[in-house]
Amino acid sequence: MPTEPTVILASTSPYRAGLLRRLVDQFEQAAPGSDEAHLAGEAPAARAARLAEAKARDVAGQRPGAVVIGSDQVADLDGTVLDKPGTVHAAHRQLAASAGREVVFHTAVCVIDARGDAMTHVDETRVRFRALSEGDITRYVERERPLDCAGSFKCEGLGIALFERIVNEDPTALVGLPLIATSRLLRAAGVTLP
């Protein structure tokens, strides 16, 4: 009977790790050292796919023979990328810009199999924000502190109250790892799943 390959999540994100635990009982986490710089003229979906693969390849290069999962999410507000805000001021500014508008989240997952072959999928989620007052935004940012989240919200927490609707094929994609595609790619990489 063949042994299961070691699965490594190329991320230290607790959100992505929590999602992956729904599919895989045992996996390791490793911080990728890849560069997340913007490339001029790069479309948001292409950026998400490139960064997911770069993260996976960085960790796979250190652990040959393992199955490595990289993921990245890019938030797009009418062509403007909303990165992780990092500060309360930036989070407030992003949420004010998103209020009453649609933001498209491109969530990419890349699985590198034990041979080093990459398989990538990009999921698209459309989020319509409700109208938000300055007070709504201030209270939300103070309570949730979404400074490490693209678009300045946590949909798995209070952030869900900021929306009018979410349209996508995989509800886990908005949290940061599209599990429907991830399970398909892991099976293709030789990982046994139900």
Q: Spell out the residues 6+ positions from residue 80 whose beta carbon is closer than 8 angstroms to its own.
A: 97
Whole-number Å distance between alpha carbons of 23 and 25 = 7
Q: Which amino acid is at 109?
A: V
Q: Where are the domains of the chain?
A: 7-188
The verdict on whether 25 is a catalytic residue reads no
Say which of 72, 76, 123, 170 is annotated catalytic.
Answer: 72
Query: Mean pLDDT per segment of 10 residues, for the chain of length 194 residues?
Result: 85 93 95 81 94 97 96 93 92 96 97 97 97 96 91 87 95 94 97 90
For residue 73, what pLDDT is reported? 93
For residue 36, what pLDDT is reported? 74
7-188 is classed CATH 3.40.50.300: no
Structure tokens at 125: 């989620």
User: Furthest-apart CA pair in the chain: how many Å?
Assistant: 60
Whole-number Å distance between alpha carbons of 118 and 176 = 19
Which residue do the tokens 């979906």 mark? 45
